[in-house]
Structure 1
């Protein structure tokens, strides 16, 4: 397979060690690219659902592909998320071209880009809500298994595939995380901090949007996931591109522009969130 040269690649929410993980597709994707920098933006390993009884060959292959990129000279930054939060005790670990971080700010062609997983903005990752988040995550994994069985029956009957799990996950995040508020809050804070771009994951919603208010403009990007959407962010030709994996073919998405209302996030909230990050 011929590799595509890419300056920077950001992926998140792979959830290795779960039935939901699209490990085969992700391994194929890794074999198709040759990035200078690969950022694994959280929830790569799933500590919430991890079981020593389930870690198939395809998941091991993903790890091997990542190590192969390292061996080929790719710099890799692993940013921890809530599902792999156990790794946060090793934050700032440096091993050759590999770094383990909680967040990172990088300059790309003169533009400051702020990258973090995003769970700090989600109350389902904190306190008692974390328990319910884990419970919902386990139920979602069971639903994915049921969804696969349904799709096998649909294919046998000559019908199109259905995604019950995607519908449930979209409804869950709309109620609990409130995606638009999540995106707006992050964009407001990024403008306050004077970043040009902000990248996160966590909510499994691939996105590229430009937010603006009286204080400035920021490009908000979300790398989506490798559970349902199979998406990645790639930087080349001096711009970020959102791609979707489809049998080895990547499809670019259009950018939407959103005008922010004044004072969506107050200075007090911005200062508090800044202290968390």
Structure 2
């Protein structure tokens, strides 16, 4: 598969809006961080109601146990979101939950099934094109998590503070008629050490897939949606539902694409999915 075959062209979403859910072979979402005020539960709920898939992967940090231990936050949108996922599982969607570091308590239930949801530590997904992709959250390849968990907690608190500033900023931008803008994403891309950290993480995941003889890797954890070729290995990160509001999808032909809430819910959607002809910049 050529690298550009995994990207989403703008033409994919041209056309009239449709009422029927968009149907995909597979959807991957991660880093929802339910239990925090930064969680965009309502928007993810809208996304899930507008989409259907044979398989739905929940790739870690769905519930933020770290924050819930410090401060309880849980609104009706959180309840509705869980009910929607359970309803999908009941209706035949294959739902697989791969826990992350923020919901690591669920790892004690690895290989068990609950309400039609299968809990797995990691697994290999085979696309319709026959590509074998390692699916895991990715925190084990994060040097901060692996070597200095206390530092990860400090970083998490700082990140939460930035998200609060971001909410205030975007409330002002909305009143001014300006679009949503992510302060934390901007800082990540501007700070040299953050860029180096992201690159190291992506390379480490690609190296692991290569070591196992696989074609690529699908993960979450760093909240940076991305699809790119790393020395012959397809690296895919589905992003998050705090900042980028993004998901990774596989169509019936086996092509992997990044989509956002704006693509599925906030914009018109085409009646027909066409083959990608040229690269599209992934969300940032």
Q: Normalised by the shorter chain, which TM-score bucket?
A: 0.7 to 0.9
The alignment status of 1:72 with 2:88, answered yes or no, reads: no
Deviation at 1:87, TM superposition (A): 0.8
Q: TM-score normalized by structure 1?
A: 0.82
RMSD: 2.5
The SS at the match of 1:17 is: coil
- 1:163-178 maps to which residues of 2 (within 5 A)? 163-170=182-189, 174-175=193-194, 178=197
Q: TM-score normalized by structure 2?
A: 0.80
Q: 2:211 aligns with which of 192, 196, 216?
A: 192
Deviation at 1:15, TM superposition (A): 0.5
- When residues 63 and 243 of structure 1 are mapped into structure 2, their CA distance, relative to the original with a 3 A threshold, is same
- When residues 158 and 243 of structure 1 are mapped into structure 2, their CA distance, relative to the original with a 3 A threshold, is closer
Q: 2:235 aligns with which of 220, 239, 251?
A: 220
Whether contact under 8 Å (1:94, 1:100) holds in the other structure is yes
After superposition, give the CA deviation of every residue in 1:193-221 in whole Å (9 maximum; x if it has no partner): 21112111111111111222xxxx32111
Q: Corresponding residue for 1:126? A: 146
- 1:128-207 maps to which residues of 2 (within 5 A)? 129-157=148-176, 162-170=181-189, 174-175=193-194, 178-207=197-226
Deviation at 1:25, TM superposition (A): 0.6
Whether contact under 8 Å (1:28, 1:248) holds in the other structure is no
Whether contact under 8 Å (2:24, 2:249) holds in the other structure is yes
CA distance in 2, matches of 1:143, 1:87: 27
After superposition, give the CA deviation of every residue in 1:107-151 in whole Å (9 maximum; x if it has no partner): 223221110010011022135x21221222122222222222233
Q: 1:238 aligns with which of 234, 250, 254?
A: 254
Q: Corresponding residue for 2:12? A: none
Whether contact under 8 Å (2:61, 2:100) holds in the other structure is yes
Q: Corresponding residue for 1:267? A: none
* Structure 1 unmatched ranges of 5 or more: 257-277
Structure with more strand by fraction: 1
CA distance in 1, matches of 2:279, 2:203: 19
Equivalenced residue count is 251
CA distance in 1, matches of 2:237, 2:55: 17
* Structure 2 unmatched ranges of 5 or more: 1-18, 270-275
The SS at the match of 1:137 is: helix
